[in-house]
Amino acid sequence: MVTYDVQVNNQKPALISVDKEIAIKPNMNACDYNDTAIQYCLAFCPNVTLKNQAIAVALSVRQPSRVAELIAAQQTGDDFVAVVLQVNPLAEPEARLIADVFLDPSWCSIYIYIQSTGFPYLFEMQMTRVKT
């Protein structure tokens, strides 16, 4: 499990999180994004434009740090944050997804498993506007 502790201007965010365990099944694409490379995708993202931009970048770039940079570069302002983690989908024991879903319309969380040339990869992408 990965825990995020983000500080901006030495202050912790005051967002309420809801923990929910999600079972990911093969060939489940709940992101409404058609691409045969997507093996499964789950998004908690009210901003459909941001969701589609992030998925397009994840499909085209395999390096998580570069994915985060490109997603952030597509947004306006300097208050946008993107974090992308790469998880080995073939790990033993299997990886489990425990999602923190923030009740904030600026929050976007996407979990996407991509099968492409070479090894498959799974990205956890978290994006938001930072409120100060």
Domains defined for the chain, CATH in brackets? 22-129 (3.30.740)
Query: Phi/psi at 108 (nearest 5 deg)?
Result: -140, 125
Q: What is the mean pLDDT of residues 109-117?
A: 89
> What's the pLDDT score for residue 58?
95
> Over 60: is that where the pLDDT of 19 sits?
no
Give tens-digit pLDDT for 47-104.
999 999 999 999 999 899 999 999 999 988 888 899 999 988 777 777 676 666 777 7
HEC readout, the chain: CCCCCCCECCECCCCCEEEEEECCCCCEECCCCCCCCEEEEEEECCCHHHHHHHHHHHHHCCCHHHHHHHHHHCCCCCCEEEEEEEECCCCCCCCCEEEEEECCCCCEEEEEEECCCCCCEEEEEEEEECCC
Comparing 12 with 25, the larger pLDDT belongs to 25
Q: Say whether pTM exceeds 0.85.
A: no
Considering the chain, what is the average pLDDT of its residues? 78
Provide, rounded to the nearest whole percent, the portion of the chain with pLDDT above 70: 73
Residues in the chain: 132
